[in-house]
Structure 1
Amino acid sequence: MNAFWERHAALREFLLFNLLSNCATLVNLLATFVGTHVLFRAFRDRPFSFLVFQYRNIREDLGLAGFLSFLFATALAQTVNFSVQRKLVFRASGDAGKAALRFAGLALFLTLISAALPAYTLPRFGILGSAVLNIVLQVAISFPAMKFWIMPEGTREKKAV
């Protein structure tokens, strides 16, 4: 099995990248719950609107509490995602600060896309189709960005699989 993964290192990275991204998803779900029900509960009755972030229907999106929970959960989940991807998938040993800044830029870009995209995709593809399209787009952008820009080959430890 090790010989297979050595011959197909890019496939191994891609599969591991997707599998371990679920760590960030779990953190995001937990942090969203804690944010909306504990940390920012007092702001649930205040509508919020800024650029593509529209949290105006407090019964459905929890207003300012929903937005603050979204920010909290996203920041926490992406911190976990960066650490997991850096150490376990790409095995990067290069400048962590430089990689973290690049990753933060990528995370901000992806967050804006995922916040804005449903307004355009929901009417045409429905909830499930919109979610799938969003996930595919996120992976299509994030995997190559992390592999070639944030944690390129020259910044990786050489380890046997």
Structure 2
Amino acid sequence: MSFKTWTEEHKTLWQFIKFNVLSNISTITRFVCTWVGTAIFINGMQLNGPFKFWLFDYTTAGSNYLGGFITFLIAEVLAQVVNFFVQMFWVFDSDTSFKDAAWKYALLAVLIVVVNLILPSYVTAFCQSTFGWDAGLSGTVASAVNTLAAVVVSFPLLKFWIMPDSKDKKADKAE
């Protein structure tokens, strides 16, 4: 059996493998932005005033205050933009209209960004208080936790709601 035949016969599994492997492009984006943001907003600009708005609580030293919030906001937004294009064109090879997929993905991204902005302050504070880790390492762990949470929610929504196979594409494959 050729690799092409295998991928055609196991399409969902192959998409899940590609999803996990190629999602690392957005993960790398998130990590790099976290490291750069930590250097700029936390260590460089010393944006260390407490920040609290709605569900976002960056009021403890372990959360890295306003600098931590800004760092994770920028990292998450850029990671989601990168991820949309990766998923649309490389993972699902979707023929769904860009407009239809974009608004649905935007909803998913908002959900992911909100969760990923709430979670880091708690994960970072936990890592710093429990293990004594510095802001950079704690932020990296928080980014990894965010990534795992996003995978569990994202794949099924992307496959079945945001970027599903079109009826025409399914009909062509059935013939």
TM tier, smaller? 0.7 to 0.9
The runs of 5 or more residues in structure 2 that have no matched partner are 132-141, 171-175
* Count of residues in Structure 1 that have an aligned counterpart in Structure 2: 152
Q: Which runs of 4+ in 1 moved over 6 A?
A: 130-134, 155-158
Matched to 2:56, the amino acid is F
CA RMSD of aligned residues (A): 3.2
User: 1 CA distance for matches of 2:164 and 2:149?
Assistant: 21
Tell me the TM-score normalized by structure 1: 0.77
Alignment counterpart, residue 69 of structure 1, candidates 46, 49, 71: 71
TM-score (norm 2): 0.72
Contact residue 92 and residue 157 of structure 1 kept, 8 A = no
Q: Which of 144, 151, 154 is residue 139 of structure 1 equivalent to? A: 151
Counterpart selection for 1:148 from 151, 154, 160: 160
- 1:35 lines up with 2:47 in the alignment: no
CA gap of 1:109–1:146, structure 2 versus 1, over 3 A, is same
Alpha-carbon distance change, 99 to 16 in structure 1, aligned in 2, over 3 angstroms: same
Q: Which amino acid aligns with 1:152?
A: P
What do residues 105-161 of structure 1 show as CA deviations (whole Å, max 9, x unaligned)? 101112333445686xx99xx99xx99986554323211110111111118979xxx
CA distance in 2, matches of 1:31, 1:140: 22
Aligned residue number for residue 4 of structure 1: 6
Distance in 1 (alpha carbons) for counterparts of 2:143 and 2:41: 27
Among residues 104, 108, 111, which one is paired with 1:109 in the alignment? 111
CA contact (8 A) 1:43 1:63 kept: no
1:89: which partner in 2? Answer: 91
Describe the shift of the 1:156–1:76 C-alpha distance in structure 2 as closer, same or farther (beyond 3 A): farther
Structure 1 portions without partners, runs of 5+: none
> Does the 8 Å contact 2:73/2:113 carry over to 1?
no
